[in-house]
Amino acid sequence: MAEALRHGTERLRNAGIDSPRREARLLLGHALGRTQTDLLAAPDDAIDPGAYLSLIARRAAREPLAQILGTREFWSLDLEVSPATLIPRPDSETLIEAAMAAFPDRHAVRRVLDLGTGTGCLLLAALTEFPGAFGVGLDRTPLAAALARRNARRLGLGTRAAFLAGDWARAIAGRFDLVLCNPPYVPTGEIGSLMPEVARYEPASALDGGMDGLRAYAALLPELTRLLAPSGVAVLELGHGQAGAVTGLAIRAGLTISIRADLAGIPRALVGRPQGEGAGSTKNCLASQTGESSLAAGAGCGPRPLPWCPG
C-alpha cells in the first residue's frame, strides 16, 4: 500500500495537482473502501492496486476529485455530485451567510426558492439554518433535479424540499421569503482558460454567462419583484469583478441591494430586496468580510421570460 501511495502521489504531482499526496491518499481510501484512519493504521498492507491506479489515471487527466469520489462537502453537508451539476464551492457559502444575516429571526423564513439548484447545495444548506422553511429547487436539467432530490433524502430533508425540472418563468408561481441563485456568470470567451477540471468536466450550462457574463443576471433580476414576498430577500452569487455591473442591473430592476464579500474580501453575494424594504445608503461602496454596503433602488422595469435555468 505504501508503494502504491508513493506512485500515485508522484503521478499526480507530475500532472500538476496542487495537493498530490492528500489526493492520492483520498483516492486510495476510496478505492479500498477504507477510512483515512484505516490507511494510517496499516500502511504496509498488501493490496491489488488496479482500481486505485485507475482512479489515479482519471485524476491525472484532471477529472475533478469530487466527481471521482462522488461527493463534496458544502456547509458541513455531505452531498452527492455528478457531471450533470456544478461542483459546490466554498465561496458559495457566502450566500448562506448573507441569507442568515438578512434574517436574524430564523423562523421568519417559510418559503425558499433556489434557481439553478444543481446539487441542491444552497437550498439544503438554507433549510438547515431556517428550521420552519420549506423549499423549491428548480433546474433545467432533469438529471440535476433528480440528484438534488437524492441529496435531500439522504440528509433527511426530503419532506421539506421539492425539486423540479423546467424553465423558471413557466414553472414557478407564488412568492418566496428567500430566493437563492448561483447563475452562470463566466464570459463565454473565458471558459476555455479556466482550470482543466472546470473547463473540461463541469457543465457549460452552469458556467456560460454569455459574452459579458451578465446574460443570466439580465434575465433574472427583473423577475425578482414577482418572485419575492414584500419583505423577501434574494441572494445571488457574483463573479469576480461583476459587482458594479450587476448592481446597475439590480437598481434598474427596482431593487434595493447590498453586496457581501467572501472571506477573501471579494464581492461574492448580491442581496436584493423589493423597493422600500430595507433600503440603506446610496453610497457606492462594497462590503468587507464583516458587513455589507447598501444601494437604494431606482426605477423598476417590467418582467420578461427567463429562457434558461443552469445545471
The tens digit of pLDDT for each residue in 49-71 reads: 788 899 999 999 999 999 999 99
The secondary element (H helix, E strand) that includes residue 181 is strand 176-181
Cell numbers given for 167 = 424553465
Q: Please report the pLDDT score of residue 275 as a whole number.
A: 83
Residue 226, phi then psi, degrees to nearest 5:
-80, -35
Among 61, 89, 104, residue at a domain's last position: 61
In a shared domain, residues 28 and 126? no
In a shared domain, residues 40 and 101? no
Q: Please report the pLDDT score of residue 308 as a whole number.
A: 32
Among 37, 61, 85, residue at a domain's last position: 61
Residues 6+ apart with CB under 8 A from 105: none
How many of the other CB atoms lie within 10 Å of CB of 240? 12
In a shared domain, residues 32 and 164? no
Has residue 275 been placed in a domain?
A: yes
Q: Tell me how many domains the chain contains.
A: 2
The tens digit of pLDDT for each residue in 197-206 reads: 999 999 999 9
Give the separation between CA 132 and CA 222, rounded to whole angstroms.
Answer: 28
Domain extent for 31: 2-61
Hey, CA dihedral for 179, 182, 184, 187, is it positive or negative? positive
Has residue 307 been placed in a domain?
A: no
Residue 60, phi then psi, degrees to nearest 5:
-65, -25
Encode the chain (311 residues) as per-residue pLDDT tens digits: 778 888 999 999 999 999 999 999 899 888 887 666 666 556 556 566 788 899 999 999 999 999 999 999 999 999 999 999 999 999 999 999 999 999 999 999 999 999 999 999 999 999 999 999 999 999 999 999 999 999 999 999 999 999 999 876 556 778 999 999 999 999 999 999 999 999 999 999 999 999 999 999 999 999 999 999 999 999 999 999 999 999 999 999 999 999 999 999 999 999 999 986 544 332 333 333 334 444 443 333 333 333 333 33
In a shared domain, residues 53 and 169? no
Has residue 11 been placed in a domain?
A: yes
| Domain CATH code at residue 248 | 3.40.50.150
In a shared domain, residues 56 and 135? no
In a shared domain, residues 151 and 196? yes
Q: Provide the whole-model pTM.
A: 0.85
Q: Please report the pLDDT score of residue 246 as a whole number.
A: 96
Q: Please report the pLDDT score of residue 47 as a whole number.
A: 66
Q: Please report the pLDDT score of residue 57 as a whole number.
A: 97
Q: Are 249 and 224 in contact (CB under 8 A)?
A: no
In a shared domain, residues 129 and 181? yes
How many of the other CB atoms lie within 10 Å of CB of 106? 12
In a shared domain, residues 122 and 47? no
DSSP 250: H
Has residue 311 been placed in a domain?
A: no
